[in-house]
Amino acid sequence: MAKELEELPLFPLNTVLFPYASVQLHVFEDRYREMVRSCLEFDRPFGIVLIRTGSEVSKHIDPYMVGTAVRIVQVHTYDDGRMDIQVQGERRFRIRELDESHSYLVGKVEPVVEHEIEESDRAAELLTRAREEFEVLIQRLFARQEFSVQVVFPTDPVALSFTIANLLQMENLEKQRLLETTDTLERVEDLLPILETQILESRQPNYYRLTGNDLKEWITPN
């Protein structure tokens, strides 16, 4: 028997959101206000997908087929109906069919399954390097602000890889490739040279403009 596909409202954007990351969205179009109201009413997620062709305000949009399902965690509604919503990335999905019969796009989706990590010296080495270089980058970002931080690493390697990816400065196509990768160690291996480059660039003043609030979910100030 074929797997049953989940129907998921879609919010195409010119951005890639990773699992475990959060973002604030300003919702002003009627179709997406309707989508948000439905998600709130029925306590259901929606999916964020990167736009392949079209624009965020286009009626017909061609999205990439892998995106991230998000949950609304906070909403502020203005008098004119516009909304600011805070969403949290939960899981990845792959679109198998697109339904354009609603005012907003709906995807029939299936989960993206990550390969299990086999314990090995290579796995231990890659994850250790990622943690060490990630901590170096965070310490350098905050060194100019004259206080130290203690980095709290996610214990799950998949969460660790996406947390690192969320911090690094990358083009959307590179982010999309990492989102679509289903091998954790491959993702970590691809992130390491980017980490190393941005560690070097972090020595330059004002390369990053981050605050403790930006990273509050995974650092603990001393």
pLDDT score of 219:
43
Report helix, strand or coil for 165. Answer: helix
Q: Which CATH architecture has domain 6-111?
A: Roll (2.30)
Q: What is the pTM of this model?
A: 0.85
Q: How far apart are the first and last CA of the chain?
A: 55
pLDDT of residue 210: 53
Task: State how far the Cα of 34 lies from the Cα of 195, in Å rounded to an integer.
Answer: 40
> For residue 75, what are the contacts with CB-CB under 8 A and spacing of at least 6?
36, 40, 83, 84, 85, 86
Q: Determine the pLDDT at residue 115.
A: 95
Q: Residue 208: what pLDDT?
A: 45
- Domain map of the chain by residue range? 6-111, 121-221
Please state, in angstroms and rounded to a whole number, the distance separating the CA atoms of residues 25 and 18.
15
pLDDT tens track, the chain, 222 positions: 357 899 999 999 999 999 999 999 999 999 999 999 999 999 999 999 999 998 777 778 899 999 999 999 999 999 999 999 999 999 999 999 999 999 999 999 999 999 999 889 999 999 999 999 998 888 887 776 666 667 788 889 999 999 999 989 999 999 999 999 999 999 999 999 999 999 888 776 544 455 555 555 544 443
Q: Which of 5, 2, 81, 3 is nearest to 37 (CA)?
A: 81
Sign of CA dihedral 62, 48, 24, 171: negative
Task: Give the model's pLDDT for residue 150.
Answer: 74
